[in-house]
Chain A
Amino acid sequence: MNPFLHQIIPLKDTSQDRILMAMIALMMCSILMIMASALFLSNLSAHWHKSVSHIATIEIPKNTPNKTISELKKLLNNSSLIKDFNLINKDRIKDIIAPWIDQSVLNSEDLPLPTLLTVSLNSGSPIERDKLKFSLKALDENIKMETHENWLSSAFERAQTLKTLAWIIGLSLTLTLIISLSILTRTRVLLNKEAINLLHISGASDAYIVKQFLIYIFGVAFKGILIGCLFASLLLLTFSSSTTPENSEVFTFATLSSGHMSILWTMPFIILVFMLLTTSKTVTNELRKMV
């Protein structure tokens, strides 16, 4: 017997199947988008860690004596912690502060713009960094070194929270989908009780009846999942292509690695397996209540 050719229990219901398929597609798309967001956040925090944790900024106030500046240069050149350092030019500083300052003030020669140095750091312990900070303070109290540790740890915490939240929402959606499917399957068993009874009386095993439900659910769920995946792919592509050259610096690292892509596209198969297991378990439980 080929069960794929003979659906004996009348489970197909075009209008309800469409609703079920749409629900599965919507849930699948949402789950994939949420999972993708979690993976993006994961990439984002990894990128921050990689790119910002080894960079520091040194602020030298205007009117700092030349002697102090040359001593500072000497100190930076001799420090084992510092890989290299570069001066941030005035125009770039003006660009950074432009949103908060009036244009006329910005163009004024009296604007007390500090001198900023971007410093690339070698790997070193926090003690070595603190030592460098103290050495700079010793040169001039107003020279500040910002290693981004404070805001970076706070950003990491927030990213981690968002990532956890995304996983919780994704799992909740998956659970909702599976519970809905279980309720729907139970309803279908009750609606088709007469046909199921007839199959039992005719000598059909529970496994035979379960197989009928699995074939039906597989047909609907597979289409729903496929549609959901297509929509999610389109949304992800739209998101990727909407990153303009201006913000690409921010978002290029937020693309998914092949490992992340594998995790993302394995999810639909895992969910499909869960759906089939749920169907099988629900139908078996309901059949056990029958004679």
Chain B
Amino acid sequence: MISFEEVGLRYGTQPEIFSGVNFTLSQGSFYYLSGPSGAGKTSLIKLSSLTQRPTRGFIRMFGQVIEHHDRKSLTSIRQKIGIVFQDFRLLNHLSVFENVALPLRIKNIASSSIRQNVEELLDWVGLGNRMHYQPLMLSGGEQQRVSIARAIIAQPHLLLADEPTGNLDPEISEKLLKLFTQLHRMGTTIVIATHNEHIIKTHPHPILHLDNGILTERILPTFPDLRLKTSPLSDISDTIKNL
């Protein structure tokens, strides 16, 4: 699904953040991206979400080499990716409904279908009664739920989350991880950038560890195979509502 080949990145004239990063994520996999602060986790997420171009090397996504694509054709690849930002990045002038509906509007989905899907998903994440609120009227946890709903509404093939638990208390973080695990069971490829060791230990998955510009893959001894096939939406509904 994603493969990095000798990828390097530098900002301006600064030294390279990565030196020849190589990795491959297969479809339906679940990885943590760990490393100390400033190691470049966010930069790697940016590269994976195509919001940053590498200064060298190749990124292959969904079987296509990104460097060979022009701006126009990148949009179809981006539509297959859902992102949960650390700072949520909600559009505060729009309602919760419109924030969640955004990826569907971009995909030119009919309004009636958008209404049905968004209302269903907002009910599912327990924000059905707040769909006309503006994001700033919601708590941090609720904003996170809106951000997650927006990331998954268009059923992305790949879900990237940058420090999704950074602003949340341990209890909500735990519930959020359960949600990601359940989305993974439904077949979504998930990459979570985090430096929260507790979460990594309690919800074990393979780890891509980034340190001093070098990426290594680790698998915890207790790592179970959680890559099960689809489970009904209702199974994860309660987890999401409790966030």
Identify the A interface with B (CB < 8 A): 1-2, 5-6, 8, 10, 194-195, 197-206, 208, 287-288, 291
Q: Which residue of B lies closest to A2 (CB)?
A: B111
Is B25 among interface residues, defined by CB-CB distance under 8 A? Answer: no
Given contacts A1-B109, A8-B94, A10-B91, contact A203 B51 (CB under 8 A): no
* A204 and B106 form a contact (CB under 8 A): yes
Residues of B near A291 (CB, < 8 A) are 50-53
**Which residue, B50, B81, B106, has most C-beta atoms of chain A within 10 A?**
B106
- State A208–B76 Cα separation when bound (angstroms): 13
Is B105 among interface residues, defined by CB-CB distance under 8 A? Answer: yes
Give 12 pairs: A residue, B residue, CB < 8 Å, sorted on A: A1-B111, A8-B91, A8-B94, A194-B89, A195-B91, A198-B89, A201-B49, A202-B78, A202-B106, A203-B75, A204-B106, A291-B52
* B52 and A10 form a contact (CB under 8 A): no
* B109 and A288 form a contact (CB under 8 A): no
- State A8–B100 Cα separation when bound (angstroms): 12
* A203 and B91 form a contact (CB under 8 A): no
Is B229 among interface residues, defined by CB-CB distance under 8 A? Answer: no
Is B98 among interface residues, defined by CB-CB distance under 8 A? Answer: yes
5 extra interface residue pairs, beta carbon distance < 8 Å, beyond A199-B106, A204-B75: A1-B111, A2-B111, A201-B78, A203-B76, A205-B75
Is B103 among interface residues, defined by CB-CB distance under 8 A? Answer: yes
Residues of B near A206 (CB, < 8 A) are 71-72
Is B107 among interface residues, defined by CB-CB distance under 8 A? Answer: yes
Q: Which residue of B lies closest to A5 (CB)?
A: B111
Residues of A near B214 (CB, < 8 A) are none
* B105 and A1 form a contact (CB under 8 A): yes
Residues of A near B80 (CB, < 8 A) are 203
Residues of A near B78 (CB, < 8 A) are 200-203
Residues of B near A2 (CB, < 8 A) are 111
* B93 and A202 form a contact (CB under 8 A): no
CB distance from B22 to the nearest CB of A (A): 22
Q: Which residue of B lies closest to A209 (CB)?
A: B106
* A201 and B106 form a contact (CB under 8 A): no
Given contacts A8-B91, A8-B94, A198-B91, contact A205 B72 (CB under 8 A): yes
Q: Which residue of B lies closest to A10 (CB)?
A: B93
Q: Which residue of A lies closest to B102 (CB)?
A: A202
Is B83 among interface residues, defined by CB-CB distance under 8 A? Answer: yes
CB distance from B75 to the nearest CB of A (A): 5
- State A204–B154 Cα separation when bound (angstroms): 13
